[in-house]
Amino acid sequence: MSLKKNSVLLDIDRSIIENNLLLKESNCDELQDLFPKKTQSSDDVPWKLVKPTPGICVKTRTPNGDKVFINVCQTSEIPEPEDIDEKRLMAIWSSDEHTSFRIPMSIGEAHVEEDKSGNPALVYDVAIHPEFFKKTEKSKLFRSFMLRVVMEGLQDKYTIQLETEDYVILKNRKAMGEIQHHRVRQGEKNKPSGPLIEEVYPPMQTITREPEYRIRHEPPDSEYPEYLLAEFLMKDLVNSHGVTLNVGEDRIIVETPGRLGQEPYKLDVFVPYSVDQEKCFANFNTDTKILSLKMPVLITN
């Protein structure tokens, strides 16, 4: 679980907060109006639902030692990169041009699978074109570059940290769990001109749900609280792996990765006092499935 400061502040009528946030469940219409869910427009680029085929499975870890598996899979619905040789790739990789050298790919949402010990682990599916995948099978240089780009793409998209050097390609497993469907834009199957371009195709529209929650004053009978205690019930979580908690001066954002067969949690709410971001403390109880967040209240003159 990561706890981050978030300095983004929005103006809001304090009466809305007082009347609709404290000690209530998460069905606040006013907050829903402030943060409407995105819907697909009829003007959106046409897309197709595809299920990539297995390629290789890579095991890496977060800095905390948590296992992360990456299923590098294949589908011809994704554009094929520009055809270059090892000499050209080496020249680009060792020069300042490497920041613009990318591979068309589709990065899917996280899902949870059991590892060989029966422990839950996060799995990401990343799809590339089959012809480029064949090139990575024949060339260690192309494979190393491809995996670096894949991991950087995951880190950028999901704000996670991964070991990009110390990883293992599983020998007897092409995929961890079942590869998820990807939503791939249509009409872009031609090879891109110029350097390789990273095209991250969005997966299926993710439907999120708000956890049940409450925010209490502590001490409860004081005129001005010393701190706020927020409690979020997320009964489907096994542990806090992948949970992101952003705390601003008067705002909380809670997000979880998608779990297999379950909708991810997402909550974005304001609190009625400014809190000390540096001294906030969070804890997830694996028995009660409650994420607790203690927020010291800043004293204002």
pTM of this prediction? 0.52
> In the predicted model, what is the mean pLDDT of residues 20-38?
38
The domains of the chain are located at 2-27+210-296, 47-185
- Asked whether the CA dihedral 46, 181, 135, 164 is positive or negative, the reply is positive
Q: What pLDDT is recorded for position 192?
A: 43
Omega before residue 195 within 30° of 0, cis: no
Q: What is the pLDDT of residues 143-196, one digit of tens each?
A: 998 998 899 889 888 888 999 888 999 998 999 998 988 877 766 544 443 333
Give residue 301's pLDDT band: very low, low, confident or very high (50, 70, 90): low
**Nearest residue to 102 (alpha-carbon basis) of 186, 200, 182:** 200
Tell me if the domain spanning 2-27+210-296 has CATH number 1.10.287.70. no
Q: Which residues of 131-145 are buried (b: 16+ CB within 10 A; e: fewer)?
A: ebbebbeeeebbbeb
Give residue 197's pLDDT band: very low, low, confident or very high (50, 70, 90): very low
